[in-house]
Amino acid sequence: MCGICGFVDYKGLSGKAELIKMTSTLNHRGPDDAGGDVLNLPNFTLALGHTRLSIIDLSPAGHQPMNYKHLSIVFNGEIYNFQEIKNRKAMPPKTIIICLKNSAIVVRNVS
């Protein structure tokens, strides 16, 4: 089972070192890979961390956090019907399906 962690820091006191410490406490949940991003935004710092237990996708393409344009995600779980969603042809107008490997599918309405 994967593990996720993160923080929002409004005082600017936390960074990559704190995220690495947090993520390392999850090693028992996902021994196959680990990753993290720290975003220093104008009013706060945002961090996302992930440890990975590879089950379906064993490739490095499942590394997290996953990023697409201005979006980032850490995902803990499994979307069991990912093939059906990925191959779905009839979607409502103004809907984008973003496939970030087989375990993170984001549906976003762009209206």
- Residue 47: how many other CB atoms lie within 10 Å: 23
Burial 17-30 (b: 16+ CB within 10 A, else e): ebbeebbeebeeeb
Catalytic: 5? no
Q: How far is CA 48 from the centre of its chain?
A: 8
- Cα distances from 50 to residues 28, 36, 38, 91, 95, in angstroms, run 12, 6, 12, 31, 28
* Residue from 2, 19, 22, 26 carrying the catalytic annotation: 2
Residues labelled as active-site residues: 2
